[in-house]
Amino acid sequence: MANTESGVPKPEQARADLAAALNAIEEKLNVPKQIDRAAERAKRRVVEVSRTKPVALGVGVAGTAALVGLGVFSIVRSIVKH
């Protein structure tokens, strides 16, 4: 931060610093933007794994599908029993 001779920041610099801080805070607190970025990172990872380890990706997808199916089956069975 640029200071004047008295040690007090110049107004222009103080405004610029405040704007930068507010932009950084907004960036961190913008949940939809953070979700979009996380989804993009996940997509890139899946594409990379599909290129380098297609069998591992297939096993992961099959395992996830089995867990979801088991969960749905358990819920439906619980509802039907009652």
How high is the pLDDT of residue 67? 98
Q: Encode 15-67 in three state secondary structure.
A: HHHHHHHHHHHHHHHCHHHHHHHHHHHHHHHHHHHHHHCHHHHHHHHHHHHHH
How high is the pLDDT of residue 3? 57
Domain ranges of the chain: 11-81
How high is the pLDDT of residue 9? 77
The list of the chain residues with pLDDT below 70 reads: 1-5
The residue type at 60: G
How high is the pLDDT of residue 1? 52
How high is the pLDDT of residue 38? 94
Q: 57: Cβ–Cβ under 8 A, 6 or more apart, which residues?
A: 46, 49, 50
